[in-house]
Structure 1
Amino acid sequence: MKSKIPNPKTNPALKLADAQCQKAVQLLNKQKYHEAFEILDAILKRQPEHRLAKRSKPVALFHMGQQHEAAKLFHQLHEQDHEDLVILKHCGIAYTAIGAFDLAIRFLSRYVKSNPNDFDAWTSLSAAAGKSQKYVESMMYATKALSLEPTNPVAYNNLGATLLGVNKLEEGEQAFETALVLDKNNVDALSNLATLAQQRGDDEAAVVLFNNLLANLDPNTTFAKEVLYRSSFSHLSTGRLREGWRRYDYGFLPTDLASRTPKRHFQLPQWRGEPLDDKRLLIWAEQGLGDELWLFGLMNEALEHCQNVVMECEPRLVSLMSRSFPKVKVRATNLNPMMAKGSQDFDVHIPVGSLLGLFRNNIEDLQKFKPYLQVDADLVSDFSERLSPFKGKKLLGLCWRSGMLSANRNTHYLSIDELTPLLGLEDCVFVNLQYGDCEEELRRVEQQLGISIVRWDDVDLKNDQESVAAIISCLDAVVSAGTAVAQMAIAVGQKTILFGLKDWVYLGQTNYPWANDVRSFPPDFGKPLTSIVPKIVDEIKFI
């Protein structure tokens, strides 16, 4: 026996729900999302399977800023009907908004196969690919969108953002300016032009452009707060530290890879520097390993304000941090959502990067840094013995690139082949600190120069940070790009020779300002990074 489908003509409750749902849809079209949501939510409490209300509620939630909940509901609808193309598109857009870019690309790619002329879908696909730094794919999707609507400013802005990602600044600028010719008030293009100025190193111009844009935005919107975060780097680069850190605190709102991570949400308040009395403070790690090593250098200053501190850090650093901060409860980062409920061992919390806004508001404050990592004495003894055959030579650690590579990041690194003038110095022995797969590079240079670069098969340079710290402690200096290795060297108090392009962390200073025993070598403006190699050679000669 077949179940009967309710007929609105004979079912007054369904007829009323249909009428109310149509009103809610009209409100959605008028961008009155909260009013629409109230109606849709009420309908679904009475009629949980009302099809149009179920499909419309996540649309309202999405535009109310509740993208995670919207994505969850859209995915539930997708599970009920895998062939529903409208829901496929909504899933893709929602996943882009919450930073689940791989999922977004998967859903939108399926959608455009059936709807190849949907401009919005192609622009969303390009944005998802670009934000996940898949620039080849992003360029392809942006070009397709532009072919569909060659006079749409959104298409040019999307193309420009992709060009910016691969460091094609002039082409990106042309795309943004075209978008503004088509729509002089396009806020995305205006924001991207400010970012472009920032990327060019013209931070004063970027500050002006960002502030002009912000003056015309509602400060309560998520977009305005994201612009504040993106503008923080130019403020910091020009020495406007207090304002820069204030804006930097909005960095968890964006979803792209340039944002602050992880996105943790606590019901307990964030510490803003107020007296804590007997309250318990959680200081939690963010960003990558190098950022943690850099930022936990502020821990001793935090301990002056609170004696009851819990630190969460990378699992690879737990033993090092425990030894270095014996009065602190140190544990591995816990991303369990239940941690946010507050029934834990802390009363207030702060992401470690936000300590900068409390303790580093003037350049003079940077002089407060002191090396803080206490290295395992037994490991130091072990590696000292291993390195004893090279006594009388300068022992130099070497790391030439990060484990994360991209078009922009690669501009900060030199290849090991470009560093051969260093490696060939007769009074030096180099110890490999480069983590990841680099054996082929090492062997090639060794054969070319007739040298041996010291390394040990039983040391995992990526995961065994205790050994990395001990090795660095046994050296005369470390030569490194801006990587976790450089930050480890600084944290243990080792002389560090730092190379790479100058960026916002220089805070407008000539030399890297965060520690005294660092000599930094950025190239002069317009010069290639290889131009600094002779300067590094000269620096090594004076060690």
Structure 2
Amino acid sequence: MTGIADTAAILEAARVLKREGNLPGAADLLGKALPQDPGNADIALALADVLVALERQPAALGIVDLLLQHRPDHLLAMVAKARLLLLIGYNAEAADLARHCSQVQPERADIWALLAAAAHADGRIDEARLAAKQALHRDPGNAAALGTLGHLAAERGDAAKARDFYRKALALKPKDARLHYMLGLANLLLGDLPEGWAGYAWRHQVKPPFTAHFGCGLPDWPGIPLLPGQRLLVWGEQGLGDEILFASLLPELLKRQRDALLYCEPRLVPLFARSFPDIEVVGRHDGFDPAAHGLTHQVSSADLGGLFRARITDFPWHDGYLRADPARVAHYRAKYEAMLPPAMRETGFILGIAWRSGNPALGHYKSGGLADFAPLLERPDCLCVTLQYGDTAAERAAMARPPYHDVEVDPLVAPDEQAAQIAALDGIVSTSNSAVHLAGALGKPGWVLLPAARGTQWYWGSQGDATPWYPSLRLLRAAVGEGPAAQLDRRLREIGTPPG
């Protein structure tokens, strides 16, 4: 057994190594000490904490599990395990364990706050709200509980209330990167762009990171023209839709910094290279060497918003900044026009439709079903073409009048081909997904079916039917309890004709 004095000395040495930034050294020290006394909770929990800092969460969970084998009723070990389960995405298991801990020690505000976070992540909204209130009843200054209440407010569409909770939480934990980031999203949703971009930039410091960083270790671009011989790496992040959205900032970037390279999702290379001939476009790949391209500074395309979109009036009107392949556009237009009844070729509509989002966190809230589009599918003056990625065969087979599925286009493989397809259409109607971003970036008319609260991305704003990012799109915001079918039916009654 490791004595109290020995434990204290080991922990102090580990703390010194952590202060010096030597996390591997601290992990090595604690890892060598633990086998001598596997039931030593102080050393085991300290080691788990260091492993989390090293982003080795599964290893940390293994250490805590080993401790619980020796001391199955150790409350701090159970709390640590619940935190780790939540961190690596085992939300239901985390909530179950946190709930048990709250019953063992009901006066601990931190356990209630943990239960609130886990229940929220597991979709147990009422339990999350009650647990957060229990935490604040015991400790009005519990930042984690305030943060969870902020998330819950944001998800029910009350961005102003969410902002209040995040501000209160940050007053208690001013260095919490995730809280800064969430406050940034709330401010962007509310149209407070300077504060919003400042908070949004904190996403790079959130641990564990939720988006990859492709800056290659280069210095941050200061936002001013670089010196001769210096070159800027601009890299995309988060997803196809986000890269398309932020590509709208490239023309302004190139007015300020002409020598630049765009490092993007490989599937977007043909489309971006055609649309932005003044910048070299390279698809992300292993072994990319920034020195071989003469790159000296870096910036994420998502961070260009803070430089070029400080006010709504900074958004230029555009009729599309992406350029589809003209030959492929003509090909699809001729094909689809030939499918319209002859009497409808002058007055009919060729519409693209999509009904699902693949976003792993929010897709469920943004999505509908093909049956929701029956008001369009049943119109004799409409040819509906599916833009939906993934396997839709069963859904199409269930429809009396299914949309046309073009086997030439696979959006998951070739967004450039889908861009040509969309450019050939009169307009689109879709839930919020990459097809909408392509349509807006191409300047095609479209209706975006948005959920009432949770699932509405910050760039759609919190109110109104327009977005400055895509002037050609109109936003259809659902009422509470309303789905895509009701939204679409309501819009068709109001307008009478589809977009186009």
Matching of residue 182 in structure 1 with residue 124 in structure 2: no
Matching of residue 350 in structure 1 with residue 306 in structure 2: no
Displacement of 1:132 after TM fit?
4.9
Indicate conservation of the 8 Å contact 2:357/2:366, yes or no: no
Matching of residue 330 in structure 1 with residue 295 in structure 2: no
Match of 1:285 in 2: 236
Q: Secondary structure at the match of 1:479?
A: strand
Q: Secondary structure at the match of 2:205?
A: coil
Indicate conservation of the 8 Å contact 2:38/2:66, yes or no: no
**Take 2:31 and 2:332, find their aligned partners in 1: how far apart are those partners?**
56
Q: Secondary structure at the match of 2:432?
A: coil
Match of 2:309 in 1: 360
TM-score (norm 1): 0.78
Displacement of 1:291 after TM fit?
0.6
CA 115–493 in structure 1, closer or farther in 2 if over 3 Å, else same? farther
Structure 2, gaps ≥5 residues long: none
Displacement of 1:364 after TM fit?
1.6
Displacement of 1:540 after TM fit?
6.7
Q: How does 1:372-383 map to 2 (within 5 A)?
A: 372-383=321-332
Q: How does 1:379-528 map to 2 (within 5 A)?
A: 379-391=328-340, 392=345, 393-406=348-361, 408-444=362-398, 446=399, 450-501=400-451, 502-513=456-467, 514-525=469-480, 527-528=482-483
**Take 2:25 and 2:450, find their aligned partners in 1: how far apart are those partners?**
42
Match of 2:108 in 1: 152
- The range that moved more, 98-107 or 272-281, is 98-107
Displacement of 1:110 after TM fit?
6.1
Paired residues, number = 480
Match of 1:303 in 2: 254
Indicate conservation of the 8 Å contact 2:396/2:403, yes or no: yes
Letter paired with 1:456: D
Match of 2:160 in 1: 204
- The range that moved more, 184-193 or 490-499, is 184-193
**Take 1:71 and 1:337, find their aligned partners in 2: how far apart are those partners?**
32
Match of 1:3 in 2: none
Indicate conservation of the 8 Å contact 2:31/2:47, yes or no: no
Match of 1:48 in 2: none
- The range that moved more, 276-285 or 129-138, is 129-138
Letter paired with 1:396: L
Indicate conservation of the 8 Å contact 2:92/2:119, yes or no: no
Match of 1:53 in 2: none
1:68-114: CA deviation from partner (whole Å, max 9, x where unpaired): x4797589869x97996778766755555566656665665566455
Displacement of 1:285 after TM fit?
0.8
1:131-170: CA deviation from partner (whole Å, max 9, x where unpaired): 4554333333333333443332222112211232344433
Letter paired with 2:326: A
Letter paired with 1:523: A
Letter paired with 1:164: H
Find the partner of 2:189 among 237, 241, 255: 237
**Take 2:254 and 2:22, find their aligned partners in 1: how far apart are those partners?**
36
**Take 1:344 and 1:211, find their aligned partners in 2: how far apart are those partners?**
43
- The RMSD of aligned alpha carbons is 3.4
Letter paired with 2:391: D
1:403-437: CA deviation from partner (whole Å, max 9, x where unpaired): 2344x441222122233233222221211111122
CA 452–281 in structure 1, closer or farther in 2 if over 3 Å, else same? same
Q: Secondary structure at the match of 1:367?
A: coil
Match of 1:317 in 2: 268
Letter paired with 1:471: Q
Identity %: 25
**Take 2:91 and 2:496, find their aligned partners in 1: how far apart are those partners?**
38
Matching of residue 25 in structure 1 with residue 25 in structure 2: no
Find the partner of 1:251 among 193, 203, 206: 203
Indicate conservation of the 8 Å contact 2:383/2:403, yes or no: yes
Match of 1:534 in 2: 489
Letter paired with 1:521: L
Displacement of 1:178 after TM fit?
0.6
**Take 1:443 and 1:148, find their aligned partners in 2: how far apart are those partners?**
53
Letter paired with 2:308: F
CA 529–420 in structure 1, closer or farther in 2 if over 3 Å, else same? closer
Displacement of 1:254 after TM fit?
1.5
Displacement of 1:315 after TM fit?
0.8
Letter paired with 1:431: V
TM-score (norm 2): 0.84
Letter paired with 2:107: T
CA 190–462 in structure 1, closer or farther in 2 if over 3 Å, else same? same
Displacement of 1:176 after TM fit?
0.7
CA 390–286 in structure 1, closer or farther in 2 if over 3 Å, else same? same
CA 437–122 in structure 1, closer or farther in 2 if over 3 Å, else same? farther
Q: Secondary structure at the match of 1:350?
A: strand
Structure 1, gaps ≥5 residues long: 1-18, 38-59
Q: Secondary structure at the match of 1:215?
A: helix
**Take 1:245 and 1:151, find their aligned partners in 2: how far apart are those partners?**
39
**Take 2:116 and 2:243, find their aligned partners in 1: how far apart are those partners?**
33
1:188-213: CA deviation from partner (whole Å, max 9, x where unpaired): 11222223222232222232332233
1:464-493: CA deviation from partner (whole Å, max 9, x where unpaired): 112111111111111111111111111122
Indicate conservation of the 8 Å contact 1:235/1:243, yes or no: yes
**Take 2:323 and 2:36, find their aligned partners in 1: how far apart are those partners?**
55
- The range that moved more, 162-171 or 355-364, is 162-171
Find the partner of 2:121 among 165, 182, 189: 165
Indicate conservation of the 8 Å contact 1:282/1:349, yes or no: yes
**Take 1:22 and 1:163, find their aligned partners in 2: how far apart are those partners?**
36
**Take 1:394 and 1:371, find their aligned partners in 2: how far apart are those partners?**
20
Displacement of 1:369 after TM fit?
4.6
CA 533–135 in structure 1, closer or farther in 2 if over 3 Å, else same? farther
